[in-house]
Amino acid sequence: MNNHAWLLLGLFMAALLLLVRPLGIYIARVMMMENHATLVSRFEVAVFRACGFQRDEDMGWLKYALALLLFNALGLLAVYSLQRLQLWLPLNPQGMVNVSPDSAFNTAVSFVTNTNWQGYGGESTMGYLVQMLGLTVQNFLSAATGIAVAIALIRGFARHSNAGIGNAWADLFRATTWILLPLSLVFALFLASQGVIQNLDAYQELTTLEVTKYDNPRLDTDGQPLKDDKGNAVTEPATTPTQTLPMGPVASQEAIKMLGTNGGGFFNANSSHPFENPTPLVNFLQMLSIFLIPGALCIAFGCIVGDERQGWTLLAAMALLFVTFAIAAIGFEQEGNPLLAQVGVGETTSVSTTALTDGNMEGKETRFGIADSALFATITTAASCGAVNSMHDSFTPLGGAVPLVMIQLGEVVFGGVGSGLYGMLIFAVLAVFIAGLMIGRTPEYLGKKIESHEMKMTSIAILATPLLVLVGTAIAVMTEAGRAGIANPGAHGFAEILYALSSAANNNGSAFAGLSVNTPFYNGLLATAMWFGRFAVIVPVLAMAGSLAAKKRIFVTAGTLPTHGPLFVTLLIGVVLLVGLLNYVPALALGPLIEHLVLWSAH
């Protein structure tokens, strides 16, 4: 890492740590709002009554889980229907055709589960109504679902001898209206001022300075590209004097895409597209906005359980893991691709005072360079965001392994909005359990005994995603339909599949995007991984919240393991790494590790 990269990383962490506490306190206040006298409160009560429920109605964990599932199922139906009917609906100036059933289903699951995996290219598939009323809405509601689950789990710790874990409707409403919406509104307007487009116009065709000459692939009568005897595409020379600029309501979606750790791009190229991410300054704020709410929720957790140190402890474990991996990613990408040096490409420093021309620039934008791209890649995968400002498929083997490993750790290093916190709390419970075994005492966390029911739920929540990833990868590499999607030969092709399943099951959404996934096989497989990767964690987490809330509080004694401070941070990091590595080292060895060895020995 060069000095510039250190400065960038330092500024990022400083800005983040400054922002999380005020926002965390605010989140704790609005989610736990119990004062009936305020204007906001009276407004809420009126809205809730109109929607057919009472604010003070406390739900047991099962009812809470059913409510969330029902709410998300409605989202699934809405996003699917809008895509299947878009040609006949308004706000579709490009006349985008109806999306195929398998792709529409995959995308609906993807956006409802906060994964935002994309098998389609946005600018060539989705009309504006789908983008707004389908996708933007789920950007909000899937994030609100995450916050609701996290708050319900926190209530499990904060309450005692109580049958309920809160009201799902009130939690969803508050997370959307008082947290996500105001932040998005401000951020969207800032983005629009910086060049992120925001309009409902038709695409704009213009005449370029130079006529573009290119080889156009010839199509047969079915519209499929023709191939010659050797399997190469048959092309004919063609020219075009024009360029077509896409348009659309991008800024409003971009803001919640980052703040809600969604990551689904308006355009195919996601946050590397200049209309989504026009300048390095915007890029920096996009990175901050990914970690903002997951970081703040740690503080909100501390506030609600009445001991802020507990929140800072989780945040410290997340921050240390994140910084270590970010340094690795930037370092590997700055090393560059040794094979390209052999074909007469290298650095010249005659005018450049930056290190831009050093390193692996394939799939990266000039304005971001190496450091801002590798840092973004680490952030977007540490959090379950999945936006990309550079193409992870073209990263160096170990540079690309960093995002892959960040995903495989279970999206708990900041993680998704809400899901990162409840994921990390699950690991904290596992950590006190392991520590309890070592010192021979009944494990307890925040005054609650951790017993067999909690450990069963913890095990399900922790093991569900690795199971989906590894079984899914095995199915894909064993079937013709799975192998057909591979774009890069050798170990990298396997890494593409492993990345796709890891990303889907952990609800990240980024990709080694060379893999052709818009096929019925991958649309079905990945949709399954996304749905169960989301709800096979949420349901046990809520079940645990229910049993914790019902328990009596036990008091701290001299024998209680403190769950704050450096010792617990170390223990927590150890548990996260141990579980992650035990699950995935064999698979990683077959992908990025082999590729790394081959690359440097070829050199």
Partner 1 sequence: MKTLLRPAISLFVLLSLVTGVLYPFLVTGVARIAFPAAAGGSLIIKDGQPIGSALIGQNFSDPKYFWGRPSATAPQPYNAAASSGSNQGPLNPALADAVKGRVEALHAADPGNQRPIPIDLVTASASGLDPHISPAAADYQAERVARARHLETKAVRQLVAANTEGRDLGVFGEARVHVLRLNLALDALAP
Q: In the range 337-366, which residues lie near partner 1 by CB under 8 A?
A: 337, 339-340, 343-354, 356-366
Looking at the Cβ atoms of 70 and 577, the one nearer to partner 1 is 70
AA letter at 160: H
**Binding-residue pattern over the window 69 to 108 for partner 1, x denoting contact by CB under 8 A:** -xx--xx--x------------------------------
What part of residues 167-186 is at the interface with partner 1 (CB under 8 A)?
A: 169, 172-173, 176-177, 180-181, 184-185
The three-class DSSP label of residue 64 is helix
Write down the least CB distance from residue 63 to partner 1, Å: 7
Regarding 477 and contact with partner 1 (CB under 8 A), the answer is no
The three-class DSSP label of residue 248 is coil
- 599 to 393, 487, 585, 594: CA distances (angstroms): 15, 18, 20, 9
Looking at the Cβ atoms of 176 and 506, the one nearer to partner 1 is 176
**Binding-residue pattern over the window 228 to 267 for partner 1, x denoting contact by CB under 8 A:** ----------x-x--xxxxx-x-xxx--x----------x
Binding span for partner 1 by CB under 8 A among 289-297, 334-342, 472-480, 563-571: 334-342
Q: Which of 39, 209, 439, 558 binds partner 1 (CB under 8 A)?
A: 209
What part of residues 359-398 is at the interface with partner 1 (CB under 8 A)?
A: 359-369, 372-373, 388-391, 393-397
SS3 readout for 441-502: CCCEECCEECCHHHHHHHHHHHHHHHHHHHHHHHHHHHCHHHHCCCCCCCHHHHHHHHHHHH
Binding span for partner 1 by CB under 8 A among 321-329, 465-473, 506-514, 523-531: 506-514
Phi, psi of 217 (to 5 degrees): -65, 135
Candidates 314, 202, 188, 324; CA nearest to 253 is 188
AA letter at 350: S
C-beta separation of 290 from 385 below 8 A: yes
C-beta separation of 588 from 596 below 8 A: no
**Binding-residue pattern over the window 577 to 596 for partner 1, x denoting contact by CB under 8 A:** ------------------x-
- 28 to 351, 446, 576: CA distances (angstroms): 52, 17, 26
**Binding-residue pattern over the window 402 to 431 for partner 1, x denoting contact by CB under 8 A:** ------------------------------
Looking at the Cβ atoms of 32 and 69, the one nearer to partner 1 is 69
Q: Which of 132, 149, 154, 303 binds partner 1 (CB under 8 A)?
A: 132
The three-class DSSP label of residue 414 is coil
Q: Which of 159, 174, 257, 273 binds partner 1 (CB under 8 A)?
A: 273
Pairing of strands 448-449, 444-445: antiparallel
The count of chain residues that interact with partner 1, using the rule CB under 8 A, is 142
